[in-house]
Amino acid sequence: MIKWPLIFINFLLLTSNVYALQIRSVVDNETTTAKISSVDVTRIFVQGDRIKSVKGLKGAYTRENDEKNGEIYIQPTSLYQDRAFTILIDTELGRHFTLLLNPTSSPSETLMLVPKGVGHERAARFEEAQPYELTIKHLIRAMKNGVMPEGYAIREVDSKTTYRLGNKLDIKLKTIYEGLNLQGEIYEIKNRCAIPLQIDEREFYKTGTRAISLDTIEIPPKAQINLYRVVSHD
């Protein structure tokens, strides 16, 4: 896997709590092992496809379906918080996957299932065909323009969770661009004050973030801007 160094190209770094991404390569009609959180929900989706149905041991887990995005949110019941269980996934493109899920006491994760030969090579071409700095710039430009990079999956985040920075800014995750080694995130930042706010990058620092670009470094009173963040999966 590529090691992505941290760069600074007039970018800010954002502190936030988002789902960590766990990637598993899957093969049609074969079993894949993955971990899920035993204390919170785990989101599961198939890159380049949509989950149509899920079957599993009754009483082992609870599940919510996201019909809009074709994904599921799953959490083990109290009886299976330290016991593995299996689910069967059928997709809209006719794929069939078996997942052996091992609950752990880790925070929530997103489990991305990458079908063999689907998306993987195309995302790798996008991320590896040019120097690192250009890859980052092109991913941020794609997010700003609403364009999906080759091999990526885009997910709209329908969440009411808002993170507050002091008493001045509200921050909300809106969209995720999921690639092979990189992930792009679009946040909405709102100025809660009646005066303009100049953003200080030191307030947004977080280790592990690759780069972030802002629409502007000054937010007018009661206005909002977008923040574009890039992180790596490794």
> SS3 sequence, 131-200?
CHHHHHHHHHHHHHHCCCCCCCEEEECCCCCCEEECCCEEEEEEEEEECCCEEEEEEEEEECCCCCEECC
At residue 129, what is the residue type?
A: A
The structure tokens 């019909």 sit at 67
At residue 232, what is the residue type?
A: S
CB 151 within 8 Å of CB 125: yes
The answer to whether the Cα torsion of 61, 173, 18, 49 is positive or negative is: positive
The confidence score (pLDDT) of residue 116 equals 72
Nearest one of 45, 48, 38, 39 to 64, comparing CA atoms? 45
pTM comes to 0.56
pLDDT in tens, 79-113: 999 999 999 999 998 999 999 999 999 888 889 88
pLDDT in tens, 158-197: 777 788 888 899 999 988 888 888 889 999 999 999 999 9
Query: What's the burial of 81, exposed, middle or buried (CB within 10 Å: 0-12/13-18/19+)?
Result: middle
Q: Which residue has the higher pLDDT, 157 or 187?
A: 187
Give me the helix-helix angle, 120-128 and 132-145, nearest 10°.
120
The confidence score (pLDDT) of residue 54 equals 97
| 122 C-beta neighbours (distance < 10 Å), count | 16
Is the pLDDT at 234 greater than 70? The verdict is no
CB 142 within 8 Å of CB 213: no
The confidence score (pLDDT) of residue 9 equals 43
Q: Which residue has the higher pLDDT, 211 or 12?
A: 211
| 19 C-beta neighbours (distance < 10 Å), count | 19
Q: Which residue has the higher pLDDT, 102 or 152?
A: 102
The confidence score (pLDDT) of residue 10 equals 46
At residue 60, what is the residue type?
A: A
pLDDT in tens, 108-133: 888 988 887 666 677 888 888 888 88
Residues 6+ apart with CB under 8 A from 105: 37, 38, 39
The confidence score (pLDDT) of residue 120 equals 65
Phi, psi of 74 (to 5 degrees): -130, 145
CB 107 within 8 Å of CB 20: yes
Q: What angle do CA 226, 231, 234 make, to 5 degrees?
A: 170
The bridge status of strand 163-165 relative to strand 169-178 is antiparallel
Domains plus CATH for the chain?
Answer: 20-116 (2.60.40), 120-232 (2.60.40)
pLDDT in tens, 14-62: 434 445 678 787 888 999 999 999 999 999 999 878 999 999 999 999 9
Phi, psi of 124 (to 5 degrees): -60, -40
Mean pLDDT of all residues in the chain? 84
Q: Which pair of structure tokens corresponds to residue 132?
A: 């690192």
